[in-house]
A = this chain, B = another copy of it.
Amino acid sequence: MQLKCAFTGINGVDSLLDDKGIPSGHTVLISGGPGSGKTTFGIQFLYEGATNFSEPGLYVTLDEDPEDIKRNMAPFGWDLESLEQDIKLVFVNVSPVRSNSSERAGLMQLGMKEFKLVKLIEAIRQGIDEVEAKRVVIDPVTMFMLQYPDDTERIHAMKDLIVELRKTGCTHLLISELRGTGIEREYQFEEYLAQGVILLRTIQKSNQLVRMIQVEKMRGVNADTQPRPYEISDQGIEVYPNLIVFE
């Protein structure tokens, strides 16, 4: 029973993952603060999959507009639109708040709107079918959890979502908002539900802030769980798997 894995293709990340990548079909949480490059990580994972590993991808956005995401990714020179045209990448916008009345000025669709898990799953399945996706990114899953103010309900909703995602067979990243900046912190419950957790954080090292990535867990892979420095360059995420972050 050998685990099949999917290379992330992100510079240095697969080195942390025993040169194997993420086990195919697994749930991996990408958790980081604002500006930590979570979305970049997700897009790069799909871009690499579609371009180099024959794995088409689905990007499910719960917050930002796909056009905004694509525009923000422009500096990295990934030709996402070609991928879309070649049916190797698809964006699905399931943002619970959406104003689709740009024509009729003055008419605004305001207030809180819920979306159901069933609808979310349906949209994901359609997106997967559209490009025969092998990789899925949900960004941010925090926006989904927000709909369940009750702790127990929220955990069960997350479990249900994960169960359905696993059924698709796709390797899927759940992008999650980290609660705080501290190295000492409370675990977030989704870290326990996921099969893999990759943290994107920042620490002070000598006289500057340094970005650090840490594979907190990766079921089935003998991962390097030490924190390692990374940068967001014009190549996207770049991890330095042989450098240390602690002084």
Contacts and interface: CB of A to CB of B under 8 A. Distances in A.
B217 A159 contact: no
A62 to B, nearest CB: 10
B152 A220 contact: no
Interface string A67-99: 010111011000000000000000000011111
Nearest to A204: B246
A13 to B, nearest CB: 16
Nearest to A67: B1
Contacts of A75: 3, 220, 222
A167 B102 contact: yes
Interface string A168-200: 000000000111111111110001111101000
B152 A99 contact: no
Contact of A246 (B121, B164, B167, B208): B208
**Chain A residues touching B, range:** 35 or more
A210 B142 CA distance: 30
Give this chain's copy count: 6
Given A33-B187, A153-B112, A181-B183, A222 B204 contact: no
B179 A71 contact: no
A227 B97 CA distance: 33
A187 B180 contact: yes
B186 A180 contact: yes
Contacts of A247: 207
Interface stretch (A48-56, A130-138, A143-151): A143-151
A179 B184 contact: no
